[in-house]
Chains A and B, each alone.
Chain A
Amino acid sequence: MSITEKSAPSKVTDPISIRSRKMPVLLGSLALFSVVVFIVLGPSGTATFRISQPSDVWQVPNLVLPAKAMGVLVSVICVGLAYLAWSQTQKTGKIAKWVVMTFAVVFVVGLMVWIIGGTTTQNITLVGLFTGAMLITTPLVFGSMSGVLSERSGVVNIAIEGQLLAGAFTAALVASITHNAFAGLFAAALAGVLVSLLLALFSIKYVVNQIIVGVVLNVLVSGLTGFLFEKIMKTKVDGVTIYNQPAHLPNLPIPLLSEIPIIGPTLFRQSIIGYFMLILVAALWFGLFRTRWGLRVRAVGEHPKAADTVGINVNRTRVLNVLAGGAVAGVGGAYFTLVAVSSFSKDMTGGLGFIALAALIFGRWNPIGAALAALLFGVAGNLQSILSLAGTPIDGQFLAMLPYALTILAVSGFVGKAMAPAADGEPYIKE
C-alpha cells in the first residue's frame, strides 16, 4: 500500500445528500439584499447612536456613522462572507461557525444603520434601548429558566405564564401587608412552587397530558388572581388601596461596573432580582452541563428508562425540577410588582410566559441560549418603541412581529436544529 492511498480522503458517493446548500444560498440572498437595499436604496446622511445618558459619569461621545458608506462596507463584507461560505461548502461540505456568526452580526449592524438613517431624526439612544429592554427581558429570562429546569427533566412546562402571574400577585399582596419587599419575594417563590406542585401532581402522579394541565393551570391562575384582585386589592381603606401598594426593591448599582458604557446601566444598575438572574443563568448552565446533578437530570429527560436502570429515581428528579422551576418563575413574577412597576393589575403578565417558552425553544433548551433569546426579544420589543419615536417609515406592528417570526424560523429548523429533550412531555411509568 502506498502512502497516497492511505491519506486519500474517503470519497463521498452522493455529495448532494451530505452537503446542504441551504446556508450558502440563504447568505447569498441576504448579501444580495444588502447590496440592493443598503447601497442602492440606502439613505444619505448619518445614523447617530447615543451611548451615554446625561447622568453618566463617563460621557462617551455619540457614535455617528455615515449611512451610505456603512451600507457599502457592510455589503462588501456580506458578499465576501457569502462567497466564502459557498466555497467552503463546495470543498468540505461544512461552513466554519465564525463565518455565519460574523455574517449575522455585520448584517444586523447594516440593517440598523439603514433603518436609523431612514428615520426623520436619524438618532436613537442605544443605552435606552437596552435598559428599557431589561424590563421585559428579566421576567422572560426567569420564565425560560423555569422551562429549562422542568423540560430538561422531561416535563413540558406550559404553565410558565401562570407561575409568573401567581408570583406577581403574591409578591404584591404580601409585600403590601408586611411592608417588606423580601417577604414578598419569598412568598412569590412559594406561589410559583404551588402552581408547580399542581403541575407535578397531575402530570407526573396522575399522568394527565402535560400540555393540557399547563394550559388549565394558566387559566386557573388568571381567574384566581383576577378574582382576588377585584375582591382584596381593590378594597379601599381611607380611600387608599392598601393591599396593592407593595414595598419596592431598590436598585443597587455596583460601583465601577455600573459606569461601563451600555453594559453598566443595563446589567449593573439592577435590583437584587436582576443580579440573581445573572447568577442563576450561569449556575444553571454549569449545573446542567458540568455536574453530576445535571447529567442525571438530562438523562431523565432524554432516556428515562436508561436513567431508571442505573438507579436514578426518575419521577422524584422530575418533581424536584418542576418545583424548582416554579420557584424560579415565581421570583420572575415578583419582578413585575416589586421592581418594574409598583402595583398589581389583572393579567399583567400579558402572555410573557408564552414568549419565555419561545425563548426557551429559540435558545435550544440551553440556559445561556435561552437568556440571549430573551434579551433579543426584549431588545426587539423596545426597538419598535424607539424607532417609532425616531419617526421610522416602517410600520410599528411589523416591527413588533419580528421576534415571533424569528422564533418560527428557529423552531422550523432554519437556524440550526432546535431539538427538545427526547422524553420531553412523555410521562414515565415504571414497568
Chain B
Amino acid sequence: MKEAQSSSTSDFVPNLNTMASAGCNMTITVGFLLAEATTTAAKDNPKLHYAIIDDNSIKAPNVKPVVYDTAQAAFMAGYTSAAVSKTGKVGTFGGINLPTVTVFMDGFAEGVKYFNDKQGKDVQLLGWNTETQQGLFTNNFNVIQDGAKFTNNLIAEGADVVMPVAGPLGKGAGDAILAANKGGKDVKLVWVDSDGFLTAPTYKSVLLTSVIKTMGEAVETIIKDDLDGKFDPAPYIGTLENGGVALAPFHDLDSTVSADTKSQLDEIKKGIIDGSIKVESKSSPK
C-alpha cells in the first residue's frame, strides 16, 4: 500500500505516476480536482483500476466513481436544527461555492423547509439561498478564524444552530460557539463529513449532530470487490439507504432533541429511502 498527498495541483500527475509504477493495482484518488489527472492515468494504464471519490464525471472502464448524496443526511440535520432552534433562526456557511459543499447546504435548507411545512413554523435559514445558489462563503479552507468570524456574524443575526461546511474552518466555528455560550448564548454546532463527537471532541458540549459520509466502508468494499476480481465501473452513490451517508447520534445533546422529533426523523429517513420524500439538490450526484 502506498500513500501520497498532493500539496498542489501540479503534484497530481507525478503522484499518480508513482502509484502506477509502484505496481498499485487499485489507486484511490480523493477529490473532484483530481478528475482530470485520474482520467489521464486511467487511459495510460488501462490494466490498472482506479476509484475517485467525490467526482462522477469520469466514464472509463477502469475507473469507479464514488459519490455521496449528502443532501439526504443534511436534510435530516436541517430538520433537527429547525426543531431545536429557540430563536427560530439557523445558519450555515461554506468554504467555497462548489457542488461538494453546496450539496450539504441544499439538503440542510430543504430539511428546514420541510420542518416549517409539516409543523406550521417559520424557522429561517441564514447563509444559504437554494434558489439563487448564493450564500455565505469564506472563499478559503485554511484561515480558521474566518470560521469563527462567520459564525459570530451568524450568531449576531440570531442563529442558534450553525452548520459550517468548510473543512478545518469548522474548528473556528466551534471555538466561536464555545465563546458565545460562555457569554450567555445557547448556540449549537452541526459537524459535517465525520462524526464530530469523535473527530473534534473539543466541541462535544455544543455538538448537536453530524452529517456523516462513511468513506471508509465504501472504499473497503470497493477494494475487496477488486481483489475478488469483481471490479465494476458503475458509480457508487452513498445514500441513507446503503449507509453511505448518515446522521450521527446526538451524543451529549441527546436530551435537547425531543422524542417527537426523534420519531419524526425516523419517519423522514424511511420516507427518503422509499422515495416518498424527495430531497432536491442541484449538486446531488445523478
Contact = CB atoms under 8 A, between A and B. Distances in A.
A112 to B, nearest CB: 16
Given A135-B148, A135-B149, A345 B139 contact: no
B175 A342 contact: yes
A132 B152 contact: yes
B3 to A, nearest CB: 11
A90 interface: no
A352 B145 CA distance: 12
B134 A350 contact: no
Nearest to A335: B145
A385 B139 CA distance: 10
A291 to B, nearest CB: 35
A430 B271 CA distance: 81
Given A132-B153, A245-B202, A340-B144, A389 B136 contact: yes
A128 B202 contact: no
A88 interface: no
B145 A341 contact: yes
Given A55-B183, A342-B171, A385 B144 contact: no
A350 B149 contact: no
A396 B134 contact: yes
B143 A352 contact: yes
A239 to B, nearest CB: 8
B142 A396 contact: no
A51 interface: no
B254 interface: no
Contacts of A132: 149, 152-153
A352 B156 CA distance: 25
Interface string A378-413: 000010011011010001110010000000000000
A388 B156 contact: no
Nearest to A50: B156
A131 interface: yes
Contacts of B145: 135-136, 336, 340-341
B143 A350 contact: yes
A348 B129 CA distance: 29
Contact of A388 (B134, B142, B171, B202): B134
Interface of A: 53, 55, 125, 128, 131-132, 135-136, 226, 239-240, 245, 336, 340-343, 345-350, 352, 382, 385-386, 388-389, 391, 395-397, 400
6 contacts: A136-B149, A341-B147, A346-B142, A347-B142, A348-B144, A382-B153
6 interchain residue pairs of minimum CB distance: A350-B143, A340-B145, A128-B156, A135-B145, A350-B142, A345-B168
